[in-house]
Amino acid sequence: MSKHPADSAAPAADWWRGAVIYQVYPRSFADSNGDGMGDLAGVRARLPHLQDLGVDAVWLSPFYASPQADAGYDVADYRAIDPVFGTLQDAEAVIRDAHALGLRIIVDLVPNHSSDQHDWFRRALAEGPGSPLRGRYHFRPGKGEHGELPPNDWESVFGGPAWTRVPDGEWYLHLFAPEQPDFNWDHPAVHDEFRSILRFWLDLGVDGFRVDVAHGLVKAAGLPDIGRRDQVKLLGNDTMPFFDQDGVHEIYRGWRQILTEYAGERILVAEAWTPTVERTALYVRPDELHQAFNFQYLGTYWDAAELRAVIDSSLAAMRPVGAPATWVLSNHDVTRHATRFANPPGLGTQLRTPGDRALGLRRARAATLLMLALPGSAYLYQGEELGLPDVTDLPDEVRQDPSFHRAHGQDGFRDGCRVPIPWTKDGPSYGFGTGGSWLPQPEGWGELSVQAQTGVPGSTLELYREALRVRRAQPGLGAGDALQWLDAPEGVLAFRREGFVCTANTTGAAVRIPVPGRALLASGDMEEADGDHVVLPADTTVWWAV
Ligand code: NOJ
């Protein structure tokens, strides 16, 4: 059993700079008690899978006490585990076992909003207008003759107004669901509370935090109107008075200080939707957070020119601040990349159409090999190592995503990537648990299971395992920020890293190129080189040793 690097005398410096971090969505990963909902004991039992896969760290989406109005991103108690997921002892056991297996644990921190069932919010409601606890959230009188209109024109990210009126006539702000009231980060008690929450989990041994809505904590003074509708469409492209305000950075400088008091290089990762990679870079200045998700990369289609542009701009934006670039193709909020790439470009990241599944899988495998060859840290989302497609045909009545319901079924298709993953070929819920599963799994899910793919040459699972093995063995892959583009035919990306070349053919046709070196790994079937040339099949990435 390998030792957790943080436990050894010389902890791996900068372990996070090139780390491959695997996202576990606990409710859909593994269910230990047959209630149809994944849990921490399930995660613990399946940690060896993640060790075999060869990832460095595991990020767990929220498992805190929560009414689950937004799948746990509505936290009622930041220091307690929801009974559906287990107990604090289960969380400690996950951390302990993960460390024993050489895996680090990153937990989700949700500081922009709490649940409406959080003690502070319940008391604030009960104590009425003007009470001190109301000051920890954004309560305001309404506009209009009788205060019947919301205090401003902000819209919720999940659709509808960002304000809800309470029986005594005041309104409160919620950028997400009404069950998720936004904290007022101008209030010192909110700062104190989150510093204490950070310490609570650091003391328990976690290796870091993924900071939910890291760009949202501070709102523009006076909560000014925006003056136009359809605000959700602007998110990530425009500066809004509730997102990416400069004041957030002060908070992160304080948090970074706390983390440096703890041994073992604990990290903070920003979920920050900003208009540009340059704005994202501000979150990862040396005295702030360590990494930020690269949503510009996630939003890029399988297209050589677009990929090259976003790779270059990402590396260039991070260089001046000295943070590693990060790369991500899937998570619990977007349609899985095997399905995005099965569909034509320009449809966004939440789709309802299955597209051409074989094409999507071929491109997804190629996209993954490309991502894992880039310098920096890469994020994987549970089930992508199985090549899972999104489940696009979930009946509306089983959907649980609050944004689906608030957007009247026009939006919010996040349940499709949250369907519990298959571990075995057969059995109830294909090894997810001994009972059912909280979202129905599609027919044939077992053929994609870990059991069905293990030891099968060319399976997506074995491709991921081999890629991560090579990434570890290949000195420097993942490290640094250097990448040298090589000449390549249109639609093909070719770049050199130290001792290594990656070629990715994003076109639908085979392309002949000069042999770059000794083939290490390919995302699709390759023919032998013929003399000095080799044929790169359509939608295929190949790694070469040079
Ligand atoms: C981002 C999370 O990833 C998403 O799942 C959640 O709905 C929102 N933040 C609100 O917390």
- The DSSP-derived string for 30-53 is --SSSSSS--HHHHHHHHHHHHHH
Q: 112 C-alpha to center of ligand 1: Å? A: 10
Query: 446-450: long-range contacts at Cβ-Cβ below 8 A with a sequence spacing of 24 or more?
Result: 446/422, 448/386, 448/387, 448/388, 448/422, 449/386, 449/422, 449/423, 449/424, 449/425, 450/49, 450/386, 450/422, 450/423, 450/424
pLDDT level of residue 409 (50, 70, 90 thresholds)? confident
Residue nearest to atom 6 of ligand 1 (CA): 73
pLDDT value of position 4: 44
List CB contacts of 305: < 8 A, sequence separation 6 or more: none
- Ligand 1 probe mutation, 333, 382, 418, most atoms within 8 A of CB: 333
More reliable by pLDDT, 368 or 348: 368
Other CB atoms within a 10 A radius of the CB of residue 148 amount to 11
Q: Is the CB of 70 under 6 A from ligand 1?
A: yes
pLDDT value of position 508: 97
Of 150, 78, 63, nearest to 113 by C-alpha is 78
Judge whether 251 and 191 are in contact, CB under 8 Å: yes
Q: Is the CB of 333 under 6 A from ligand 1?
A: yes
More reliable by pLDDT, 135 or 238: 135
Burial pattern 378-392, b for ≥16 Cβ within 10 A else e, equals: bbbbbbbbbbbbbbb
Of 149, 159, 150, 179, nearest to 231 by C-alpha is 159
Burial of 130 per CB tally in 10 Å (0-12, 13-18, 19+)? exposed
pLDDT tops 80 at residue 235: no
Q: 107 C-alpha to center of ligand 1: Å? A: 14
Which region, left, alpha or beta, applies to residue 272 given φ > 0 means left and ψ of -120 to 50 means alpha? beta
Which region, left, alpha or beta, applies to residue 200 given φ > 0 means left and ψ of -120 to 50 means alpha? alpha
Judge whether 27 and 37 are in contact, CB under 8 Å: yes
Judge whether 21 and 378 are in contact, CB under 8 Å: yes
pLDDT level of residue 477 (50, 70, 90 thresholds)? confident
pLDDT value of position 479: 87
Dump the DSSP string for 330-347: --TTS--HHHHTTS-TTS
- C-alpha dihedral over 77, 104, 48, 334, to 10 degrees? 60
pLDDT tops 60 at residue 190: yes
Judge whether 502 and 369 are in contact, CB under 8 Å: yes
DSSP 371: H
Q: Is the CB of 108 under 6 A from ligand 1?
A: no
Marked catalytic residue, from 116, 182, 207, 212: 212
Marked catalytic residue, from 271, 384, 390, 539: 271
Dump the DSSP string for 154-200: -B-TTSSBSEEE-TTS-EEE-SS-TTSPBB-TTSHHHHHHHHHHHHH
pLDDT tops 50 at residue 307: yes
Residue nearest to atom 11 of ligand 1 (CA): 73
378 bridge partner residues: 20, 327
pLDDT tops 90 at residue 332: yes
For residue 241, which phi and psi values (nearest 5 degrees)? -70, -5
Looking from the CA of residue 61, the nearest atom of ligand 1 is 3
Of 200, 274, 214, nearest to 250 by C-alpha is 214
Q: What is the rounded CA–CA span in Å between residue 283 and residue 246? A: 10
Other CB atoms within a 10 A radius of the CB of residue 197 amount to 18
More reliable by pLDDT, 8 or 72: 72
Q: What is the pLDDT of residues 196-219, one digit of tens each?
A: 999 999 999 999 999 999 999 999
Instruction: Give the mean pLDDT of 381-388.
Output: 98
More reliable by pLDDT, 237 or 70: 70
Instruction: Give the mean pLDDT of 50-61.
Output: 98
Q: 157 C-alpha to center of ligand 1: Å? A: 10
Cα atoms in the 13 Å half-sphere on the side-chain side of 70: 27
Token pair of 242 as six digits: 């509730």
More reliable by pLDDT, 238 or 61: 61
Judge whether 73 and 179 are in contact, CB under 8 Å: no
Burial of 50 per CB tally in 10 Å (0-12, 13-18, 19+)? buried
Q: What is the rounded CA–CA span in Å between residue 449 and residue 452? A: 5
Q: Is the CB of 157 under 6 A from ligand 1?
A: no
pLDDT value of position 11: 53
Q: Is the CB of 401 under 6 A from ligand 1?
A: no
pLDDT tops 90 at residue 121: yes
Judge whether 232 and 175 are in contact, CB under 8 Å: no
Instruction: Give the mean pLDDT of 364-382.
Output: 98
Q: What is the pLDDT of residues 141-181, one digit of tens each?
A: 999 999 999 999 999 999 999 999 999 999 999 999 999 99
Let me know how long the chain is: 546
**One-letter amino acid for residue 92 of the chain:** E
CA angle 75, 180, 196 (to 5 degrees): 40
- Ligand 1 probe mutation, 28, 212, 332, most atoms within 8 A of CB: 212
Burial of 366 per CB tally in 10 Å (0-12, 13-18, 19+)? buried
pLDDT tops 70 at residue 2: no
Q: What is the pLDDT of residues 267-302, one digit of tens each?
A: 999 999 998 899 999 999 999 999 999 999 999 999
Q: Is 333 a catalytic residue?
A: no
pLDDT level of residue 233 (50, 70, 90 thresholds)? confident
Query: 448-452: long-range contacts at Cβ-Cβ below 8 A with a sequence spacing of 24 or more?
Result: 448/386, 448/387, 448/388, 448/422, 449/386, 449/422, 449/423, 449/424, 449/425, 450/49, 450/386, 450/422, 450/423, 450/424, 451/423, 451/424, 451/425, 452/422, 452/425
For 385, the 3-state DSSP assignment is helix
Q: Average pLDDT of the chain?
A: 95
For residue 312, which phi and psi values (nearest 5 degrees)? -60, -45
Residue nearest to atom 4 of ligand 1 (CA): 333
Q: What is the rounded CA–CA span in Å between residue 361 and residue 57? A: 25
Q: Is 271 a catalytic residue?
A: yes
Dump the DSSP string for 246-309: TTHHHHHHHHHHHHHTSSS--EEEE----SSHHHHHGGGSTTS-SEE--HHHHT--S-HHHHHH
Q: What is the rounded CA–CA span in Å between residue 53 and residue 383? A: 12
